[in-house]
Structure 1
Amino acid sequence: MDSAPLWWLTKDGDRDCLELYERHYSAYRYADGRQRKLFVGPGEKVVLRTERGDACFVWRNFIDDSGQTGINCAVFRNESAHQSSGLIRQADAIADCLWPNCRHYTYVNAKAVRSSNPGFCFIAAGWRRCGMTKSGLLVLERATTGMH
């Protein structure tokens, strides 16, 4: 794990994080063109940002219609010089403190990312591929720490 903490706790609606979210491939756009003020969605949430606001990570604890269980990485965008896998490992450690022994999971749209190895930064952080959703999204998970 990186020695210095890189994440700062912030809130849904943080302007820097909102701008990062708007540049993320999964950003939801309102059909009527209105501007959003919040970007995470309902449920228990933790929004993390780097000091400069050039990376954002969102944990979300909610009832997922897909049937996935655990704590969801709802948003991760890194435009910083920090290695993505290191940021993910630190975000995992924060989630482990808040939600002990909970599975972490996320979705990756392999068709929407510019990578020949979608989700590689999560894999490098100790996550694994564990399936696909009905809509074709790749599901990645980091099992609970007690299962390692």
Structure 2
Amino acid sequence: MKKLIFCLGILLTSAVMSAEAQLPVTWSFSAKKLDAKTYEVYLTATLNGDWHTYSQSTPDGGPVPTAISFSKNPLLDFDGKTKEVGKMEEHFEPLFGVNVKQFSSKVTFVQKVKLKAAVKTTLNGSVTFMVCNDEECMPPTKETLSISFQ
């Protein structure tokens, strides 16, 4: 019985490690200083192979849209909505029965942020996203982020 439990544990660990090694998307987070108190925040998804992710706006009944959430920080103001920069593809998706907006290869979400004072602070938050290819969809996943401003 102990050997069976040990073998099952090894198999489960191998499956989890294999799934993690084949994640179809990697995220990077950075900021560019525009002036003394203004920054652009970049949340970049790089997609492997034929995987794609979805826009922040999808119709009802469609795939899970990309959702960006920032933690409250009394030292920061957000200037406008988060923009999507990348080659957007629009098409009818039979799996969902709706027209979808998606990005393949790479997409960057850009948010302008203004510091209320010239101080060091950190922006924390998360990106919830869904990726699919022609054969399957991964469940929605949340990636946390932390960006420091100097």
TM range (shorter): under 0.3
- Which protein has the bigger helix share? 1
For the pair shown, the structure with the greater C-alpha radius of gyration is 2
Q: Select the structure with the greater relative contact order (CA < 8 A; seq sep ≥ 6).
A: 2
